[in-house]
Amino acid sequence: MTIEPDTGGTDTVFHGYFRSSAAYRCRIAFNLKGFAPAQRFVHLRKGEQKSAAYKALSPAGLVPALETPRGVLTQSLAIIEWLDETMPDPALLPADAWTRAKARAFAQTIACDIHPVNNLRILGYLKTPLGHDQATVDTWYRHWIAEGLSAAEALAQDAGGHGSFLFGDAPGLAEICLVPQLYNARRFACPMEAYPRLLAVETACNALPAFADAAPDRQPDAEG
C-alpha cells in the first residue's frame, strides 16, 4: 500500500545511499507511513554527493534529500517530522508533549551526539589531512559510539519501559534513530553488551517489515 502526502506523489524523489544511517532513518519512516517516493542513489564513497548537480539539491552535499514539487527538504529529522505532520497515521511521536520531548531528546542523542562525529566525511578528514591510520579511526569511532550509546541506554532505562518500544506501544522517531546507529556500531565491531535495553528494542523493531526492509543490505544500491 502506498499513500502519498501532498507532495505530488510520484514526482517526489528520495536521494539516499544504502549505508547512510540518516537515509536509513528516512527509509524506516517511509515504510511505517506507507510512503513510497521514487529513489535515487548517491554513491558517497565515489563522492557523488559533492557534484554540482547534487549540491544544487542539498547545499551541504549530504544525504538524504527529499525532492518534492514544492522544493527540496534536507535533514533526516526534519524530513521525518514533516512526513509525520502531513501523514499523521501512524504517529511517529507520542501524543503527550513531555513524552514527545523525551522521544525527541533520545533521537537527538543519536542524531546530534553520535552520528555527526562518526560520519564518513569526519573519518575521511582523520585520514586526510590528519594522517591517521585505520586503527586510530576505528578507535575514534568506537569511543563516540560508547559515549553516546551509554547515554542512550540510560535514557532508555529512565523511560521505564519494559515493553517492546521506548516511549509507547509502537516504534517512532526514537527507534527510527536507534536501529541504524546500532547497525553502524556492529559494522565497526563495537562492544554491545552494555546496552541490554537498546538491544531488546532493536530486536522488536527488526521483527517488523518496516524496519527489516529498510536495512542497508536490502537496498537496490547495496554493495558487499
Stretch that binds a second copy, among 30-38, 41-49, 81-89, 197-205 (CB under 8 A): 81-89
Q: Which CB sits closer to a second copy, 166 or 208?
A: 166
CA–CA separation, 101 and 41 (whole Å): 33
Stretch that binds a second copy, among 12-20, 92-100, 163-171, 185-193 (CB under 8 A): 92-100
Q: Is 52 in the site for a second copy (CB under 8 A)?
A: no
CA–CA separation, 148 and 140 (whole Å): 12
Return the residues of window 93-132 that contact a second copy according to CB under 8 A: 97-98, 100-102, 104-105, 108-109, 111-113, 115-117, 121-122, 125, 130, 132
Shortest CB 73 distance to a second copy, Å: 5
CA–CA separation, 207 and 210 (whole Å): 9
Return the residues of window 148-177 that contact a second copy according to CB under 8 A: 148, 150-151, 153-155, 158
Of 9, 136, 148, 19, the residue nearest 67 (C-alpha): 9
Of 176, 26, 21, the residue nearest 103 (C-alpha): 176
The two beta strands, 71-74 and 65-68, are antiparallel
Q: Which CB sits closer to a second copy, 44 or 73?
A: 73
Could you give the dihedral angle defined by the CA atoms of residues 144, 24, 56 and 85, in that order, rounded to the nearest 10 degrees? -110
**Contact criterion met (CB below 8 Å) for 114 and 145:** yes
Shortest CB 24 distance to a second copy, Å: 15
Measured in Å, how far apart are the chain's first and last C-alpha atoms?
A: 30
Residue ranges in contact with a second copy by CB under 8 A: 58-62, 70-71, 73-75, 77-79, 81-82, 85-86, 97-98, 100-102, 104-105, 108-109, 111-113, 115-117, 121-122, 125, 130, 132, 136, 140, 143, 147-148, 150-151, 153-155, 158
